[in-house]
Amino acid sequence: MNNLRKNLEPKQIIVVRKDLQMDYGKFGAQVSHAAMGCLTNLLKKDINNNIVSYLLECNIDSPMNMWIGDRFTKIIVEAKNEDHLLRIHKKAEEMNINNCLIQDAAFTVFDAPTYTCLGLGPEFPDIINPLTKRLRLYKG
C-alpha cells in the first residue's frame, strides 16, 4: 500500500485497558463490543428502540462509507488503567470523534461493572491520530 492511501484510509482504533490482563475470550468479547458499539451509534432508533434507519452519511467520501466499503482497518492500542481510558474518552468526546465506551456488566469475570475498552471511529488519520498517536500497540 502506498503512503498516500495509508494516510487517507479511515481506521477504527480500539483502546484496551492493559491493567486488567483479560484472558483471550474476555478480551475478544470486549473489543468486539467496542467495534460494534461504534457502528450502532450510527443507527437511528425509534422510541421503542427499533432500528428505523442508518445515519450513515450519503457522501461516498465519508470515513464510515470508505471504511465499510474497504478493509475495516482496526488497530488495538492500550490504556494504562481506567483513569487513562476515561481521559481518552473525554478527549474523543471533545473532538467529536464517534466513540463507544464499554463497561462490562460483571456477569462472568469481574466482580463489579468495569470499564474495559473504548472504540474510536472509524475516522480519517488526520482526525484520529492526534488523539491516539502516543498510545502503544496492545501486546497483551
CATH number of the domain bearing residue 81: 3.40.1490.10
> Per the structure, how many domains does the chain have?
1
Q: How far is Cα 127 from Cα 3, in angstroms, rounded to an integer?
A: 17
On whether residue 81 sits in a domain, the answer given is yes
Residue 28 lies in a domain: yes
Long-range contact set of residues 41-45: C-beta below 8 Å, sequence gap at least 24: 41/98, 41/99, 41/100, 42/98
Q: What is the mean pLDDT of the chain?
A: 87
Query: Which has the higher per-residue pLDDT, 36 or 52?
Result: 36
Q: Is residue 4 part of a domain?
A: no
Residue 13 in this model has a pLDDT that exceeds 90: yes
pLDDT at site 131: 97
* Domain span including residue 68: 11-132
Beta bridge mates, 117: 16, 102
* β-pairing verdict for 43-45 and 11-17: unpaired
pLDDT tops 60 at residue 140: yes
Whole-number percent of the chain with pLDDT over 70: 83
Q: Is residue 139 part of a domain?
A: no
Nearest-10 Cα torsion for 76, 82, 84, 85: 40
Q: What is the pTM of this model?
A: 0.86
Identify which has the larger pLDDT, 111 or 59: 111
pLDDT at 8: 82
On whether residue 77 sits in a domain, the answer given is: yes
Q: What pLDDT sits at residue 43?
A: 72
Tell me: pLDDT of 57 over 60.
no
Selected residue with higher pLDDT from 33 and 3: 33
| In a domain? residue 70 | yes
pLDDT beyond 70 at 112: yes
Query: What is the distance, to the nearest Å, from the Cα of residue 73 to the centroid of all Cα atoms in its chain?
Result: 11
What is the mean pLDDT of the segment spanning 83-106?
97
